[in-house]
Amino acid sequence: MIKLIAIDLDGTLLNSEKQVSEENKQAITAAKAKGVKVMLCTGRPLKSVLPLLEELGLMDEGDYSITLNGGLIQSNHDGEVLSETLLNGTHVKDIYQLSQSLDLTLDVVSRGTVYRATPVSNNHPSIYHQVNKVLAFKEKRIEEFSESDKVNKMVCTDVNPEYLTQQMKTIPSEYFERYNIVRSGANLFEFVDKTVSKAAGMAQLGDILNISPSEMMALGDEENDFSMIDYAGIGVAMGNATDQIKQIAQFETKTNDEHGVAYAINKFVLEA
């Protein structure tokens, strides 16, 4: 029996218009009414998904979110931090040097604030402010970052997905040994602590709630969803998911424009 549903946002719960369909809302409401824990599991910070949580009725005591690709677990109704895994300014300087070699701009996320490390790439400016408009953006010179800085993740973006794909292939292997580097959308990839993943976040929350992986369902479409779909008892790939995600999923649902989240919830939770 499924007791926890973890849902990715972009390309999964949200349709192409970046909206939640009425069908998806109804399915989530019905699952919660049945006693199932429904949570967003996203690369975004909590601040940027609060309007969605309110829209979905997931702001009560006992509602949780896994944000920043698994690096932060919070209670929705009061923001209490249950678990957080951080990087620091020394890591920022390390990745900044890499971003310079890739000719990309580096954005540094610390909770609800994004620090754009300067000087920036003039050839490939960041578009992260267009992706997360509710976050506060500031510029910070790279030499001003220090070991005491608390960093949730670092992000590289570009308007051209093919350029990002090309540049990711050139990242030296030692960076993958030091960090978890994941593609979280067509126009961005991210650096988090090596131990951070959506699956790790689900495991930590499962321990807190006494819910086993076999009692979890996870839905996603992109590379950063791989770990949670592989971890959950029922891993669900969206119809629009990458081939990599479809290959490891136990079930392929409909696309994000065809209410694929609602289809899977109905099949495995409401009609089970």
Residues belonging to the active site = 8
What residue has token string 């949780």?
64
Q: How far is CA 140 from the centre of its chain?
A: 24
Residue type, 133: K
Q: Which residues pair with 188 in a beta bridge?
A: 157, 185
CA-to-CA distance for 158 and 35, rounded, in angstroms?
Answer: 41
CA-to-CA distance for 49 and 27, rounded, in angstroms?
Answer: 19
Closest CA to 224 of 180, 171, 173: 180
Q: Are 260 and 254 in contact (CB under 8 A)?
A: yes
